[in-house]
Structure 1
Amino acid sequence: MSLSLSFTHPILSRHVYSAVFPPPRFLFLSPLIPTTSRFPILYRAPQRATALSATAVTASIFRDTAASASVFAGAYALVFTFDILTQKELIQQNLSRKLVHILSGLLFAISWPIFSNADEARYFASLVPLFNCLRLVIHGLSLTDDQSLIKSVTREGNPKELLRGPLYYVAMLMLCALVFWRESPVGVICLAMMCGGDGVADIIGRKYGSSKIPYNQSKSWVGSISMFVSGFIISIGMLYYYSALGYLQLDWGYTLHRVAFISLVATVVESLPISMLIDDNISVPLASMLAAYLTFGH
């Protein structure tokens, strides 16, 4: 038992404990941690905590670096695969470009859980679209020549096209990762609409879109309907994916209605005759982002 020096006061009594004879542990709610000690060599807790913290930080950095490298390798493999398929004429150029548009963004969003729980993880994930952004700028300005890149992501094979739609696309990937990350449904819905909804609409609309929308002859009814349906389904799938992993807690009754509303907003915006003023890779994700933020509130 610890020893103490005590004295009695007429009004109150108190105990004065020395550094050599500490008070009983039951008087404290947390483990006893002395702030000073006559024998500092006997107290190693701060150094141990610092070592553990440093180890955790190092592990997070290593994991996030490996995750970034894996995502980058996967993105490169995806584009390379469709380049080979196009060169062998197993798939048409326009279809290849749109499949890359659909898959690259969705796979990027699906990859976020492989990153650590550190606050800096989103910055590591954003390195992939940042690298592609710089790559598009370099080739778009014709500082270097990469015909495989130009053929895989442009409509007419003009390098300057890299500075428009494709550049806006990777910028949106980076924006969603940095701002919304895994803790908000807004980012994943935004990418689902831009990649899945708009991408599927273009493929279906080009093949079956004979009936045009009255106020925009470059868009078809079947294309808009396919955008609404595919955007809704892919968004729900992405939300379920993150909900199953524990990142999101959703009331599915309300979520279905909200996602349907967001899909409708994105579809209407995509159908408007404004593509000459603002690219779909800007208008669709921004409209989806605003609608999702207003409906989900975060």
Structure 2
Amino acid sequence: MRQLSCSFIRSTARLLLRCSLAGRRGEQQIDPVQHLQQQLRTMWTDIPLVRDAGAAVLTGIAAAVVLRFWEEVANRALLDQKLCRKMVHITVGLVYFLMWPLFSSEDVYAPFLAPLIIIVNIIKVTVIGLGVVKDEGMVNSMTRHGDHRELLKGPLYYACAVTLTTIVFWRTSPISIAVICNLCAGDGAADVAGRRLGHVKLPHNPEKSYAGSIAMFLAGFIASVLYMCYFSMFGFVESSWTMVAAFAAVSLAAAAVESLPISTRLDDNLTVPLASAVVGVLVFYSVGITSLCCMGSGGGTSGSATILQVVFAGSR
């Protein structure tokens, strides 16, 4: 960053000198504002770290706007608190996921910069959940019964799952699509459908319904396919019928695990991403997808692996 700043300062100084000399010689003067704009555009496109820092800011703004919207809806009692909580569950993660193509392919720090807003939210949720800070808007929009201590369970697990998925798998792995889509769209739809249409309960778990499980499978699967098509436009993942079938298998497994009593005892925000990741590794590897983890692929080193190597090398 120091070299970047020095280079930018030197370029600006040269520009001002050229403007001054051009004025003295009677030549056509160079517009310094246009030149600075061009410099900034070049920095955004040619310097991965600058681009990723900007992308992280834009991602944070997008997620914060969505979260703030649902907090206002909850505070004004425009929707039922439980429905509002699930809308936060569905939309925040999917909007965050939508911003991933903004990040560069060259910067090894991208998987760590992308979830910065989620990490900030983890800290915020923890502080509010412990009662250190009060935020009625967040409590009302993200808890079942309006108890701030509930933030330390489902919402915290949700944020941690999304963060770990970003760092470990990143956007070139179909597992990240499966995990986030089943967690956000699938689990969110299961709760909404289960409360409104879930009159017929599952025989092995009376707290879950057929409607909820079917809605989870369909929502998680459809969202996965849509994001597969979206990411394939940028060349991150392949788009094929084999991938569609693989996503269907993972979503079916996630819906099955979500219906089990253990998911009720633990938390869906723990069991759903874990099941999606484990089954995803098995399914996608079986269909020939080998780049499943950004910790390293194809015998090379990338993303998180490079960061870890630097950390461990410095500790020797």
TM-score (norm: length of structure 2): 0.74
Q: Distance in 2 between matches of 1:292 and 1:275?
A: 18
Q: Structure 1: which 5+ runs fail to align?
A: 1-54
Q: How far off its partner does 1:270 sit?
A: 0.4
Moved more, 55-64 or 278-287: 55-64
CA deviation digits over 1:84-115, x for unaligned, max 9?
Answer: 22333322111111011001111111111111
CA RMSD of the aligned region, Å? 1.6
Quick one: which of 96, 107, 131 aligns to 1:108? 96
Q: Are 1:218 and 2:232 an aligned pair?
A: no
Count matched residues: 243
Q: Which has the higher contact order (CA 8 A, sep 6+)?
A: 2
Q: Are 1:67 and 2:25 an aligned pair?
A: no
Secondary structure, aligned partner of 2:125: helix
Q: Are 1:96 and 2:89 an aligned pair?
A: no
Q: Distance in 1 between matches of 2:265 and 2:209?
A: 19
Q: Structure 2: which 5+ runs fail to align?
A: 1-42, 286-291, 293-316
Quick one: which of 265, 268, 277 aligns to 2:253? 265
Q: Which residue is 1:156 aligned to?
A: 145
Q: Are 1:296 and 2:284 an aligned pair?
A: yes
Report if the CA contact (8 A) 2:62-2:96 is conserved.
Answer: no
Identity of aligned residues (%): 37
Report if the CA contact (8 A) 1:189-1:238 is conserved.
Answer: no
Q: Distance in 2 between matches of 1:125 and 1:254?
A: 29
Report if the CA contact (8 A) 2:44-2:51 is conserved.
Answer: no
Report if the CA contact (8 A) 2:183-2:273 is conserved.
Answer: yes
Q: Distance in 1 between matches of 2:235 and 2:118?
A: 25
Q: Distance in 2 between matches of 1:182 and 1:256?
A: 17
**Corresponding letter in the other structure for 1:88:** R
Quick one: which of 255, 269, 273 aligns to 1:285? 273
**Corresponding letter in the other structure for 2:225:** I
Structure 1 pair 89–140 and aligned structure 2 pair: CA distance change class (3 A): closer
Q: Distance in 2 between matches of 1:74 and 1:256?
A: 29
Greater Rg over alpha carbons, structure = 1
Q: Are 1:87 and 2:75 an aligned pair?
A: yes
**Corresponding letter in the other structure for 1:277:** R
Q: Which has the higher helix share?
A: 2
Q: Distance in 2 between matches of 1:257 and 1:246?
A: 20
